[in-house]
C-alpha cells in the first residue's frame, strides 16, 4: 500500500472496519443488482480461491449478468478472469 499518498491512507482509514469484515455476496445480492443499485462495477480479485470457487458460484453468475446488462464495469485481476465464464447464460 502506498504510504506516501495521503488520499490513499485516508480512504483506507475511512473503510478499515468494513475491510476487516466484508459482506457476503449472497447477503447483498438483491440490493446489489436491483434497479437502484449504488454499484458502478464488479471487481474480481486474484488468488487461487477464484479458480476453485468463484467460477461455479450462481451468485457471481447473477452479478456478472447484471453488470453486462446494465453496462457496468467488470474488473478482473490475475486469476480473476477464470470467473468470467460463469456469467455466460
Q: CA–CA distance from 26 to each of 9, 62, 71 (Å)?
A: 30, 10, 22
Q: Which of 9, 26, 78, 85 is catalytic?
A: 78
86 is catalytic: no
The SS3 assignment for 76 reads strand
CB 33 within 8 A of CB 62: yes
Q: Which residues are catalytic?
A: 78
Amino acid at each position: 500500500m502506498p504510504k506516501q499518498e495521503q488520499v490513499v491512507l485516508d480512504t483506507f482509514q475511512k473503510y478499515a472496519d468494513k475491510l476487516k469484515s466484508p459482506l457476503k455476496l449472497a447477503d447483498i445480492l438483491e440490493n446489489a443488482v436491483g434497479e437502484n443499485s449504488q454499484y458502478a462495477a464488479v471487481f474480481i480479485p486474484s488468488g487461487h480461491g477464484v479458480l476453485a470457487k468463484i467460477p461455479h458460484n450462481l451468485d457471481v453468475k447473477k452479478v456478472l449478468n447484471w453488470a453486462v446488462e446494465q453496462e457496468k464495469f467488470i474488473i478482473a485481476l490475475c486469476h480473476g478472469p477464470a470467473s468470467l465464464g460463469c456469467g455466460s447464460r
